[in-house]
Structure 1
Amino acid sequence: MARILVTGSSGGLGFNAATELASRGHEVVVHSRRSSRRPAEGAAPWLGAVFGDLADLDQTRDVAEQAAAFGRFDAVIHNAGALRPPDAVPVNIVAPYALTALMDKPGRLIYLSSSMHRGGFTDLRGLGSGRASYGDSKLWVTALALAVAARWPGTTSHAVDPGWVPTRMGGAGAPDDLAAGHETQAWLATHPDVEPATGGYWYHRRTQLPDANARDQRFQAQLLAALEAHTGILVG
């Protein structure tokens, strides 16, 4: 049995992943922006819930404090996402970075990426302005996942492209399979034999080669330095 936090789990892929994991007997802590949007329990109850708007750094810090009350997590799925500026940068990259730095190191970290990361730019000036695109933010969070994999030998870290699925963000006409959209995250959070064990970029349980910029160690170092300067939080 694993203890797992899933951010952005009031609906969509996050809710589906949390529901699947809880139905398997895992202790799942869900997250939503407001307590009024606490995810409804399905076939199995949640261990608990944390609340806070991940577009706001102070509230993100508070989410980390709330999560600490549950002890160390075996896995954290950074599922929460925003499609458009100005929320795309704080939700898609700043919050995952801050939560990663502030929480006790879990056994496994899973970060939600997108195929659109391949069109993202490495110009980090958009980090502070909030004017960076969705693709930029997904390039950066993919680089963050790979940087953590290289720097934290005791924690596995992966990025996942869930596909373009028919959620509220993806839209009703999205062509990819909704069930397949969350299964890889749940699998990576709990399966005992994942190969590669860390540093993978996944799509439907298969690894792909992410954009070269995400794999560039110099860019990874630049990104971590920019995030530290932006948040005042250091990843150990």
Structure 2
Amino acid sequence: MARILITGSSDGLGSIVAQRLVARGHSVVLHARNPARAQDAIKACSGAETVVTGDLSSIEDTKKLANDVNKLGIFDCVIHNAGLFRSPYSETADGIPPLAAVNTLAPYILTCLITRPKRLVFVSSDMHQSGDGSLEDILWQQRGEKGYDPIKAYRASKVHAVIFAKAFARRWPEVKSNSLDPGWVPTKMGGANASGDTEAAVATYVMLAEGEEVNAQRSGIYYNPGPTEGRAQASTDDETVQERLLQICADFTGINPSI
């Protein structure tokens, strides 16, 4: 039995995957943005071990969430599933758009602060293929509201997810760190017209969460639904790019990843 934390698991694929993992005999800790959403999470997945709360758009809340998770003990796998899509421009208390906070900074902070698990899973998207891998102004502080584009912001954040998976796979060889594209599936985020296969998406999550199949014992890999190995944007393999993203996040949050 594995012990698994899934961020953003009050609904959507996070909830579906949690239910599937519980049904397969694993211990799952859910995550929700606030107490109301936590009730939704437990209602949908009553077999979960517990639920933790924290607003991932806030650096302080995310740090507290990491501390709360550590109080629960060691995890076999952490799935960074939470994410925003088509999120309009506003500024969080930290002065950045919520999408940049939730999709980029939160998985970085949690990975740095949660006691190192055996497996890390970063949820990306095929949309990362057309994302900006230059790492210029990733937190939209220079471009601001006038330059903000929610689709460009989402695509870039999903490039970051792949980079994180590869960077931590290289830095922490004892941890299996991978990323996945769940496909365009009919959830609240994907919409009712989505044509992707939910079962194929879930299969990829489950494989990486359980860590038993041969592919799940690899590291630094980008997976398509199915699961099958995919080819990520070429920039994500550049170690200089990987280190630059980690440094940008470290400089902004004041949190450095351990070696």
TM-score normalised by the chain length of structure 1: 0.95
Percent identical across equivalent pairs? 40
2:54 aligns with: 52
CA contact (8 A) 2:169 2:220 kept: yes
2:65 aligns with: 63
2:212 aligns with: 192
Query: What SS class does the counterpart of residue 4 from structure 1 fall into?
Result: strand
Matched residue count:
236
The superposition leaves residues 199-231 of structure 1 with CA deviations (integer Å, 9 ceiling, x where unpaired) of 110012100110011111111011011010011
| 2:128 alignment partner AA | H
CA contact (8 A) 2:135 2:245 kept: no
| 2:139 alignment partner AA | L
2:113 aligns with: 102
- In structure 2, how many angstroms separate the alpha carbons of the residues matched to 1:78 and 1:140? 12
Is 1:202 aligned with 2:223?
yes
User: Which deviates the most, 38-47 or 217-226?
Assistant: 38-47
Is 1:183 aligned with 2:203?
yes
Instruction: Quote the offset at 1:60 in angstroms.
Output: 0.6
- In structure 2, how many angstroms separate the alpha carbons of the residues matched to 1:224 and 1:192? 29
The superposition leaves residues 18-55 of structure 1 with CA deviations (integer Å, 9 ceiling, x where unpaired) of 11111111110000001111213457611111001111
1:117 aligns with: 128
User: Following superposition of structure 1 onto structure 2, how do residues 139-218 of structure 1 map, counting pairs within 5 Å?
Assistant: 139-195=159-215, 197-204=218-225, 205-218=227-240
CA contact (8 A) 2:13 2:187 kept: yes
TM-score normalised by the chain length of structure 2: 0.87
| 2:29 alignment partner AA | V
CA contact (8 A) 2:100 2:157 kept: yes
Query: What SS class does the counterpart of residue 62 from structure 2 fall into?
Result: helix
CA contact (8 A) 1:124 1:226 kept: no
The superposition leaves residues 112-136 of structure 1 with CA deviations (integer Å, 9 ceiling, x where unpaired) of 0001111111233132527461001
The superposition leaves residues 55-88 of structure 1 with CA deviations (integer Å, 9 ceiling, x where unpaired) of 1111111111111121011000100010125222
The superposition leaves residues 88-145 of structure 1 with CA deviations (integer Å, 9 ceiling, x where unpaired) of 2111111000000001100000000001111111233132527461001010111111
CA contact (8 A) 1:54 1:90 kept: yes
CA contact (8 A) 2:10 2:44 kept: no
Structure 2: 5+ residue stretches without partners: 90-96
Query: What SS class does the counterpart of residue 147 from structure 1 fall into?
Result: helix
- In structure 1, how many angstroms separate the alpha carbons of the residues matched to 2:11 and 2:199? 13
CA contact (8 A) 1:18 1:28 kept: yes
Structure 1: 5+ residue stretches without partners: none
Query: What SS class does the counterpart of residue 214 from structure 1 fall into?
Result: helix
Query: What SS class does the counterpart of residue 214 from structure 2 fall into?
Result: coil
